[in-house]
Amino acid sequence: MPLSQRTRAKPCALGDRGTQAACVQADCPCWAACAPSVTLQRGIERDETGRSGGAIHCEIKALAGNSATCLGFCFRLDAGSIPAASKSGERPQLARLSCPSCPDGEQDTRDTQARAACFWYSGRPAEIGISKERIVQLVSVQVGPFKSIDQPQTVKIDPEVTVFVGMNEAGKTVFLQALHKSDDAAGVAVFDPVEDYPRKDLSAYLRQHTTKPAQVTKLTYKLTAGELDELNRDLHTNLPADFEFSLLRHYDNTLRIQLGIDEKPVLDHLRQDSRLSSDVRAALAAVTSVRSIPKATEHLSLTDNDKGWLASVQQRITKTQWESVTQAEAWNWLQPRLPKFAFFGEYELLPSKLNLTDLARRVEQAKSITTPQNAQQAKASQKPLEPQHRAVLALLRMADISVEDFTRPGGGYESLKARLEAISIKLTDEILEFWKQNEDLEVEVDIRLDPDEQPPFNSGPNIYLRIKNRRHRGVSTPFHQRSRGFTWFFSFLVWFDSVQHQLAVGDPGDRDLILLLDEPGLNLHALAQADFLRYIDRLAEKHQVLYTTHSPFMVHSDRLHQVRVVEDRVKVGTVLSDNVSNSDPRTIFPLQAALGWTLAQNLFISERNLLVEGPSDLLYLQAISSLLEAQGRVGLREEVTIVPTGGLDKVVTFVALLGANGLKLAVLHDYRGRPEQKLEDLVKQKMIAPKALLDVSQFRDLANIGKSSRASDIEDLLPVSLYLDYFNRAFSQQLGSTKVTEADLPAGDRVLDRIERHLSTTRIHIRPSGGFNHYAVASLFVSSPPSSLDADALARFESLFRAVNGLF
């Protein structure tokens, strides 16, 4: 029996939530249903390497049908290594368990994460402190036609954080809405052609919608290496490491699945069954699909073993109407692991007060919305749960309170009040961890009757949310009267706790989440936005995060590869791209401002500074330093800050400014074939030591490292062919079908000069002023770095970094 079926069994009705044993629903006698005697012990275990760590040890005292056997399972909470599964009372040894009665023989209980390692796994890792691994990763998205997106747009998604930058009304929110409606975690948001299809083409589309609904999104995913191994092991497939699959959502909310799985490895496995007769084996040699097996064997004289084997195959076939049985089984395996989308925007803010009787009534109405069709009907009339209601439900969930507790006779005010006070303390601690603007705030949550209020607040209990400011002698104000930045940040924390626990109305189940944040921190102060970026980084440890912004303080200047630009182009509509070089300057202004802000900060906070001439130098040095370090070689020291000065002429100003603050400096500059007088003057004035002046040409000739030679830029340390590849890609729109090759370039020392002379000679116009934007090529190099560099290039840069590191 496949391991995944055992580890994802339904929980027994034993013990408290989070400590339930999982019944092993299996035909194999080794894994009979667990007996009603289960104990869980917290303790310290050591794995095979001798490391110790927090663990949960589960001892199943007896197994039905095999009462003499006791099995124990333990695993680490703080590492991916699973120590073992062994007989109770013995130290765990190897991570394998022999099952002589199982058809597959020895079953592998290893797992790269603790999430599914123990057979008693209850499906609630958050409650017992287990870090849940991201099982399926979204790698690319195609959206459109949808609202302002007239033509389908394909966007690569970063494994951790993807940032969408653009002007107001460019279509950033539209993109997130399309993803949200593709698979809403709350099961509420769905596609509606009248609302979502581009309005200018709506009339023509509605005539075909009933018979041929258009595709609106295509989501492409890939599995982690561990999950891919498990899928291959469970289904006997042989999917490659780069296996991807896609889900196509249409305007009628139907789903089409693209898997592309070859059944040959599955057929090979079936043919290897030793119980089969030679006649059946021979017939199977010509079979090309599992579904064709019965027809291929219908004329044979079958043995009892053949008949039993064929019955099991027929059972697999009848379970699905798909042509490919293996693809259907793979989809059944993948579907429960797929992440859903959780969207947070401006409208999910908490109210200052809400009537709980009215909320309970709305919750009951919402329970009837279980399908996209129900959701569309509710949208046509009235949504029972508006964002403010869901926000309060999230708050109650944090206190482990059901809305029915307030309407039930004898609900117990003191108990409810105590739990609300506990969550008030938790919220205060949590928000102050990231809210540094005012650390004297306290959260107050209360419930009370108020018969003098206007309906519906005069009927039944109301929940009130207030913020107390200790800085002003404990004065409290209603939540909605606080700053917009604070109310947004607080509401977001509450919302995220709700989606973490998967307890929105119409429980979406125990699945991973992809977080969609629309303009997060829009009303936050610049420094508070930087604080919130840290929080996003924390979220990205467990969830993919996609967010929109036009604030430079919501962009990591050292992670431009995570940025996607969004533009609204005339007669084209919304366009999304990861190519910064072809974008409107107004669109990429936040990126420029983010880089400028980071540089300005670095002028005063970094003790060790390497001055370079331009931002292209910074990008190449950072990217190639990372490549070297990934190979265990020498990169730039982490504490050294690279500071672009804007040209050699400005180096003197930077040296004076930074040197006056007692900071350590070095200069790396382009070499024009002769000494630079301005730099020599710096040495004469003793503003910088001679050895702290480095030029690029000193690292170009590996036989003469440290000696200035020919005119050189940082780009000359790269292979010419590699640089031209990035040049052609960066300016593909301007070049058209033309590709610049090394043979096209005139002779010379500097590749930049050679390219510009070639462009001038051939009258190829990249930009009106002539030449080309060096930064555009560097930006593409960083956003799409090469998987490797040739040995000489790596050696040049490693020599450069050794020299720079030695100066500090």
pLDDT tens string 648-679? 877 776 776 666 556 788 999 999 888 888 78
pLDDT of residue 225: 87
Q: Which residues contact 703 (CB under 8 A, 6 or more apart)?
A: none
Contact indicator for 382, 401 with CB cutoff of 8 Å: no
One-letter amino acid at 402 equals: S
Average pLDDT, the chain: 76
CA–CA dist 679, 245 (Å, integer)? 57
Q: Tell me the C-alpha to C-alpha distance, in Å, between residue 507 and each of 334, 341, 398, 639.
A: 19, 13, 15, 47
- pTM surpassing 0.85? no
Q: What is the DSSP string of 491-547?
A: HHHHHHHHHHHT-SSS---S--EEEEESSTTTTS-HHHHHHHHHHHHHHTTTSEEEE
Residue 303: pLDDT over 70: yes
User: How many CA atoms lie within 13 Å of 16's alpha carbon, on the beta-carbon side?
Assistant: 3
Number of H helices, E strands in the chain: 26, 25
693-695: strand order across its sheet: 640-644, 608-612, 664-669, 693-695
One-letter amino acid at 52 equals: S
- Which H or E element spans position 447? strand 441-449
- Which H or E element spans position 84? strand 84-87
Contact indicator for 555, 561 with CB cutoff of 8 Å: no
Taking residues 110-131, report their average pLDDT.
28
Q: How is the chain split into domains, by residue range? A: 3-127, 222-337, 340-510, 594-806
Taking residues 527-534, report their average pLDDT.
81
pLDDT of residue 14: 29
Our CA angle for 442, 448, 452, nearest 5°, is: 120
Give the torsion through C-alpha atoms of 465, 470, 474, 475, to 10 deg. -60
**702-739 in b/e burial notation, b at 16+ Cβ within 10 A?**
eeeeeebeebbbbbbbbbeeebbbbbebbbeeebeeee
Our CA angle for 568, 573, 574, nearest 5°, is: 55
Q: Where are the alpha helices (DSSP H) in 584-688?
A: 589-605, 615-630, 651-660, 677-684
Our CA angle for 13, 14, 17, nearest 5°, is: 90
pLDDT of residue 600: 60
Residue 19: pLDDT over 70: no
Taking residues 125-148, report their average pLDDT.
70
pLDDT of residue 484: 77
**224-255 in b/e burial notation, b at 16+ Cβ within 10 A?**
bebbbbbbbebbbbebeeebbbbbbbbbbbee
Residue 94: pLDDT over 80: no
pLDDT of residue 401: 77
Is beta strand 664-669 parallel, antiparallel or unpaired with respect to 693-695? Answer: parallel
Is beta strand 544-549 parallel, antiparallel or unpaired with respect to 161-166? Answer: parallel
Contact indicator for 59, 72 with CB cutoff of 8 Å: yes
Q: Omega into 372 within 30° of 0, i.e. cis?
A: no
Tell me the per-residue pLDDT of 200-239, one tens digit each, with 9 for 90 and over. 999 999 999 999 999 999 999 999 988 999 999 999 999 9
- Angle (deg, nearest 10), helices 651-660 and 677-684: 20
Q: Provide the pLDDT confidence category of residue 554 given band limits of 50, 70 and 90.
A: confident
CA–CA dist 584, 581 (Å, integer)? 9
Q: Which of 44-53, 326-335, 705-714 has the lowest mean pLDDT?
A: 44-53
Is residue 26 helix, strand or coil? coil
